[in-house]
Amino acid sequence: MVETQPTQRTTIAIIGGGVSGLYAAWKMLYEKNLTDVDIHIYEATQKCTGRISTAWIHNGFPIELGAARFSKYVHPVLNRLVEHFQLKTMPYEYANRFWHLRGKKLGLEDIAAGKAAYELRENEVGKYTDNLYEYTEKNSARTEAEINAMSFHEYLAEHISEEACTFFRDAEGYDLLLGEWLSGMDGVRAVKQHPDMLPKGEVSWFHIVGGFQTLMKTLEEQITARGAKIFTNHRCIELVQNENSVTVYVETNQNNDSIVKYIEADRVFLCVKRLDIKDIALPLSQEKLDAMEAVEPVPMVKMFATYTNSWWSAFSRRDGNFCITDMPIRKIYYGPGHHLMFYSDCQSALYWKDLIAESGRKPEALLGEVQRQLSVIYRMDPTKLPRPNAFYSKFWSTGIHVWRRNSEPIKVRNLLMGTAAERIHIAGESFAVNAGWVEGALETINLLIDGVLYP
C-alpha cells in the first residue's frame, strides 16, 4: 500500500544516518548553538551506523567490520571530537610486517636481499615499496595536473617496471593501487596518508575503546537530547525542489506495508554513498549529475576470527604481527586479545562476496576457504589449524570512494555541496577530498556548516 501523510514542517532534513549525518546535526545544535532549527534525520536502515559497524567487543578489543582506526595527527577533526566526548582510545600497533608473496615468506631482510620472486630490473632488486615510490617521485618531471590526468599505475610505470608495479600493489596489499581509474594524485594521497603503507614514519594510530559505535551512540544521544528527530527505516526516494522549500519523499515499512510520507524542508543534506544517491529521484542539474562520476566506489571485505588463545604467537614472534599476501585474504592482522583480522579490497574483496553472502546458510564454506588460505601461509594441514570460536565477516559493495583520473576533487566537492542560495547539499565521505576516511566525511560537514551555511 502506498499512501501520503500530511505535511510536517522541518527546517533541515538530513538524509543518511552515518557519521556525517549525525555529526552535521551535532555541529548545528552544539557548536553553532542553533535553537531555531528542527532537524530530522532519515536513515534507510534500522540503525544509524552506516559504514561504522562494531560487531562485538572481543576481550576488550572492538571487532570493527567498518571504520576502525584514526590518527591523532592526520585526523584532527575526528580527534577533537573523540577528545571532546572523552572517548577512551587504545593504540593500533601493526608495524611489524612480513609478506607471503608468490608462494614465498619474506621478511624485510629477505626483500632487501632480493629474494622477492618478481622479475625486477637491476636497480629495483632489493628495494622496498617506499624506495620504489620515492624513486618514481624523484624522477617524475610531471606537474600535479599531469599526474592527475594519468592513473597511479601509469604514474609508477613511467619509472619502474611492470613487475615492480605488481610488486608494489602486492606488497602494499591494496588492489586499488593498480586500478585503471585511480588518479595519480589520489594514489599519491592514498600512499602518503595510509597507516599500512610505506612503513617508515612513526605516525600514531588508534582505535576507540568500545569501538567507533561509541562515537555514533554519543552523537545520537546528544542530538536527540537537543530535539533532533531520528527516523530509522525511512528511505528517501525523491526530492522535489519548490520555490522556497524542498519536498522530501521517504518510504517506510509498517506491518509489511510500504508507506510514503512527505516532508517540507528548508534545506536537505544528502549524506549517502554515491551509488545510493543514484537511487533517489533528484532535481539536480546535469552538471552535478555528471560531476558525481568523478569518484569510484571501491568494494571491501573485513573478516575476523576470534580464538581462546593466540595459537599463532610463535609465528608472530618470529615473523611479525602483520602479514601481507597476494592471496585473496590479502592482509592478516594478528590482533590483541586472540583474534585475526583479514582485510581485502577490489577484486580480492569480490572473491569473498558470494561466500559471505551464503555464510548464513553455509558457514563452513567461508571458514573452510579462510582456513585453506591460512594453511598455505603456515604450510600446515588445514584440518590441523585451530578453529575460531567465532567468525565475523562483512562485504561492502562500496567500502570507500577514490577519485578517478582527471577529476578535480575540490571543484566537484564544492559544486555538489552547493551554495547558501541552494537548498540541496551533498556532503559526507563520497565526495570528500580526503575520501576513504571518517575524517574526510567530517571535513565536508565543517565546510558546509562553517563555510557555506553559517559562516
Q: Which residues bind ligand FAD (CB under 6 A)?
A: 15-21, 42-45, 50-52, 66-70, 235-236, 271-273, 276, 280, 300, 302, 396, 399-400, 428-429, 436-439, 441
- The rounded distance, in Å, linking the Cα atoms of 112 and 118 is 13
Minimum distance of ligand FAD from residue 136's CB (angstroms): 26
What are the two backbone dihedrals, phi and then psi, of residue 285, each rounded to the nearest 5 degrees? -65, 160
Cβ-proximal residues to 402 (8 Å cutoff; 6+ apart), any chain: 176, 179, 181, 182, 183, 186, 190, 295, 296, 298, 435, 436
Least Cβ distance, residue 67 to ligand FAD (angstroms): 3
C-beta of 118: minimal distance to ligand FAD in Å?
A: 28
In sequence order, what are the residues at sequence separation of 6 or more whose Cβ sits closer than 8 angstroms to the Cβ of residue 264? 7, 8, 9, 10, 242, 245, 246, 247, 248
Among candidates 402, 406, 403, which has minimal Cα distance to 145?
406
Which CB atom, from 66 or from 418, has the smaller least distance to ligand FAD? 66
Looking at the Cβ atoms of 58 and 127, the one nearer to ligand FAD is: 58
Please state, in angstroms and rounded to a whole number, the distance separating the CA atoms of residues 394 and 302: 6
CB of 71 to ligand FAD, least distance (A): 9
Q: How far apart are CA 176 and CA 106, in angstroms?
A: 22
Shortest distance, position 104 Cβ to ligand FAD, whole Å = 28
Comparison of 228 and 438: residue with beta carbon closer to ligand FAD: 438
- Convert 194-225 to b/e letters by CB count within 10 Å (16 or more is b): ebbbbbeeeeebbbbebbbbbbbbbbbebbee
CB 296 → ligand FAD: shortest distance, Å? 14
Nearer to ligand FAD, 399 or 409 (CB): 399
Output 254 or 383, the one with its CB closest to ligand FAD: 254
Closer residue to ligand FAD (CB): 18 or 418: 18
CB 346 → ligand FAD: shortest distance, Å?
Answer: 12
Q: Which is nearer to ligand FAD, 156 or 349 (CB)?
A: 349
Name the one residue in this structure whose C-alpha cell is 632489493.
126
> What distance in Å separates the CA atoms of residue 60 and residue 173, rounded to the nearest whole number?
27
